[in-house]
Amino acid sequence: MKTIHALVAFCGMAWLASSPSHGESFDARITIQADRPGAMIDPNIYGQFVEHLGRGVYEGIWVGPDSPIPNTRGIRNDVVAALRKIHIPLVRWPGGCFAENYHWRDAIGPRAQRPRGVNTAWGDEVETNEFGTHEYMDFVEQVGAQPFISVNVASGSPAEAQAWMQYLTAPAGSGAGQERARNGHTEPWKIPFIGIGNETWGCGGNMTAEYYSDIYRQYVSVLKPYGRLIASDANSDDYAWTETLLGRALHRHPADMPTTLAYISKQPQIDMISVHFYTFSGNDWGKKSSAIGFSQADWARSMERTWKTDEMIARHSALLDRHDPEGKVGISFSEWGAWWATDKNRPSNLFQLNTLRDAVIAGLTLNIFQNHAARVRMANLAQMVNVLQALILTNKEKLLLTPTYHVFDLYQDHQGATLLPTLVAAPNYSSEAVKIPSMSASASRNARGAVTLSVVNIDPSREANVLIEVQGYLPRTAQGRVISATAMDARPEFGQPDPLAPASLRVTVRRGTIAFVAPAKSVAVLVLQ
């Protein structure tokens, strides 16, 4: 009641009418409830996903120590520098469906002696195994990120997964540690996150939820000592999968209690459930929109599908609330992003161009993740370099930062900050059969006390006159940056000035109330102090 009241009073402010307006526009109001702080926004929401697929690893990350492309021990310096700049916290590897065909022993030891395999998940391309466990760990360390390893369930075994974790983490004096040292790394690594299978309903074993849940229990019994365990994903809105998984695998058998340490028995066996969900234009995997040259109807359907992320998290969270009322178990949104029609000549490389539409999808999705920070504790963009909705595209020695990269850059201040609830009052955006909220917002307060607000205007034609009220906090200054362009498919090109590089945004502050114009189809981030 109090909130509605505040909004009405806010609406009546005389200077709203004098807000700058160019062409068609709508009015929007955002209320930031700084007096109702929520959960911490886990930096791992900004995590990435990398798979041996197309040019994602080979060329995108790994060029080899003898390459003329500047590298450190075979890993591209330009890619590492770009990822460090936006503080990428975590990289999931080696797949994806590739992980379900991966045998880690093929990719350790002297590179020249590693067997050459076939990437049966992706186009039967030759897998040189040049980039293996040591190269991945070197890469994440160079980036300053944490590792997240997905172990093979479909064609692997608990024993193989356990041996891999022992190899990675065993003390230097042990047999596994000595083998690791012979291969160049004496000190044990830490593996904070382990994924048990990938899409085990599909490429990861074609399993039923019941069967997977039982297999999961077996993996837990050998992997629990090594890291936090992430169960294989529900396919998007497959709530029955999550329900079955939580019912069968969240807790140990009660009968097991007396024979095991009580404190272990009481811990959930799942640290995070996971969800995979991709945006395309509409809901049909078979009819993908082109990455560029698409229609406004395609834009609208892409945004409508992206908004479904919100409902999906809410419904998976509701199941968690019932099975885990203490809130111990998180959600890892382990694969997300836009999936457009790919190169007909090499469809399995999943290379696609990245435009303003991808930036708006990224901003909207990250806002949704943040607004569910109490449960969403990790997410992984698919995929970091040269594959699907990438942050970075490379062309031999050249590198391009995508519009999606710029969104991750602008959103950095949210990482690790405290979520502040937001209320958005704005008209819907409608196009043909689509009718969705035109605006999304998410706010947080960092350790220095500054409030960061990210605002996405989804409407491709109308700018928004936005008024912001902050309850329980009096901002005196505001700075803003924005990503926008005239064309829906505006995009950067190698070697050309970037039309989507974040620009500064005019923001006014008057007696604690903030106003700015959010251009049509834009992602804006404001810092209030």
Q: Where does this chain bind ligand AHR (CB under 6 A)? A: 51, 95-97, 198-199, 335, 382-383, 388
Q: Is 199 a catalytic residue?
A: yes
> Least distance to ligand AHR from the beta carbon of 361, Å?
15
The strand ranges marked E within 438-521 are 439-445, 451-457, 463-471, 478-483, 503-505, 507-510, 513-518
DSSP assignments along 4-54, one per residue: HHHHHHHHT-GGGTTS---SSEEEEEEEEETTS---B--GGGGEEE--SST
- Residue 51 annotated to the active site: no
Least gap, CB of 150 to ligand AHR (angstroms): 9
User: How large is the angle between the packed helices 175-182 and 158-169, nearest 10 degrees?
Assistant: 70
Residues in the chain: 529
Which of residues 388 and 525 has its CB atom nearest to ligand AHR in the complex?
A: 388
- Closest distance of CB 51 from ligand AHR, Å: 5
Q: Is residue 484 left, alpha or beta, with left meaning phi > 0 and alpha meaning psi from -120 to 50?
A: beta
In this structure, the strands spanning 503-505 and 478-483 are: antiparallel
**Is 136 or 429 the residue whose CB approaches ligand AHR more closely?**
136
Determine which one of 51, 59, 125, 335 is catalytic: 335
Q: In Å, how far are 8, 21, 479, 513 from 516, measured between CA atoms?
A: 19, 10, 10, 10
Q: At its nearest, how many Å lie between ligand AHR and the CB of residue 1?
A: 45
| Shortest Å, Cβ 367 to ligand AHR | 22
The answer to whether the CB of 56 falls within 8 A of the CB of 386 is yes
- Which of 381/505 has CB closer to ligand AHR? 381
The DSSP bridge pattern shows strands 422-425 and 376-382 to be unpaired
Closer residue to ligand AHR (CB): 97 or 434: 97
Helix (H, G, I), strand (E, B) or coil at 439: strand
- Which parts of 189-231 fold into alpha helices (H)? 209-223
Would you say 97 or 526 has its CB closer to ligand AHR? 97
Residue nearest to ligand AHR (CB): 96
Closest alpha carbon to 168 in 158, 179, 159: 179
Spot the catalytic one: 100, 199, 304, 469: 199
Q: Which residues are identified as catalytic?
A: 199, 335
